[in-house]
Amino acid sequence: MSEKIIEVSGLQKSYKENHVLKDVSFTIYKGSIFALLGSNGAGKTTVVKILSTLLKSDGGSAAINGFDVSTNNDNVRKCISLTGQFVAVDELLTGRENLNLIGQLKHLPNIKNTVNEWLSFSDLEDAANRKVSTYSGGMRRRLDIAMSLMGNPDVLFLDEPTTGLDPQNRIAMWDLIKDLAKKGTTVFLTTQYLEEAEYLADNIAILHDGKIIAEGTPKYLKEIMPERGVRLNFDSEIKANIAIKFLTENGISADSIEQNLPSLEDVFLTLIDEKKESSQHEKK
């Protein structure tokens, strides 16, 4: 079993009468990519803010690397980094100057070499000495993540990292995130994009109405869906036509049977709809 790096139990948060988080629990293992999936306003960013010590919870507990996020803020901050929804880079500086500034603020040794390494990792070497104001959205986001990674945090929080990016830059960002996990960084990702979660995540949690309504690998979430059915493959159209009408009577066997799993979108929408129906019945 992999080492647990984030443990969340019964997390709660309200804004006046709005109960954003009612009972949120999940576990994340070291070196994995974890995706928190949910609709707009589901509370994904609230979870990230609590775990990154930017916001106090109203109840429950959360720990990162064994440090309680409420009582050990300093120790938690030493092992995490956060890239928010909005890119936080200085457009008046060059890419190299942005990274150099972060290196100085973190008192990193060998700053010059470290900056060069992250420029290379982010594929920004050719644009290193250009002002960030000339960068594309994808380049700015890659620089933003590189700045967050300086100092090699154990956990990187990425809050909607590909929002606003074109398909090409989104795929490039996916590749970068995959590389981070391979290097041992634990990635906590929030996203609205179902295909993004399916492609990247080792484990996915679906947040709805203040609770985690399902959690597991993409494959597991698909397998728990009822009425999945199967796809039968035959080596000829004639055999297929016969099978449709007389499969049982004629004892015709399929050449292969393939499990016809739903898409992650089907899983998400079905679970959300089920919870809405259940909530409406309870109110009645």
pLDDT band at 41 (very low <50, low <70, confident <90, very high): confident
| Residue bearing the bigger pLDDT, 18 or 229 | 18
Phi, psi of 59 (to 5 degrees): -175, 170
What is the predicted pLDDT for the residue at 14? Answer: 95
- Name the residue among 24, 36, 33 with its Cα closest to residue 5: 33
What is the predicted pLDDT for the residue at 252? Answer: 60
Which residues, at least 6 apart from 95, have a Cβ–Cβ distance to it below 8 Å? 119, 124, 127, 128, 129, 130, 132, 135, 139, 143
Residue 234's beta-bridge partner residues?
none
Distance CA 157, CA 51 (A): 9
Question: Which amino acid, one-letter code, is at 212?
Answer: I
Distance CA 193, CA 214 (A): 17
Average pLDDT over residues 182-186: 91
Which residues, at least 6 apart from 167, have a Cβ–Cβ distance to it below 8 Å? none
What is the predicted pLDDT for the residue at 165? Answer: 79
| Residue bearing the bigger pLDDT, 283 or 42 | 42
Q: Each residue of 163-177: pLDDT tens digit? A: 777 888 888 888 888
- The dotted CATH code for 4-222 is 3.40.50.300
Would the pLDDT of 229 be above 60?
no
Q: Strands 186-191 and 33-37: what pairing?
A: parallel
Q: Each residue of 104-115: pLDDT tens digit? A: 998 988 999 999
Q: Each residue of 258-280: pLDDT tens digit? A: 555 556 666 666 666 666 555 55
* 271 in Cβ contact with 222 (< 8 Å): no
Domain ranges for the chain: 4-222, 225-283
- Name the residue among 10, 34, 4, 37 with its Cα closest to residue 22: 10
Would the pLDDT of 248 be above 90?
no
pLDDT band at 98 (very low <50, low <70, confident <90, very high): very high
Q: Quote the mean pLDDT of the chain.
A: 84
What is the predicted pLDDT for the residue at 250? Answer: 65
Distance CA 9, CA 206 (A): 15
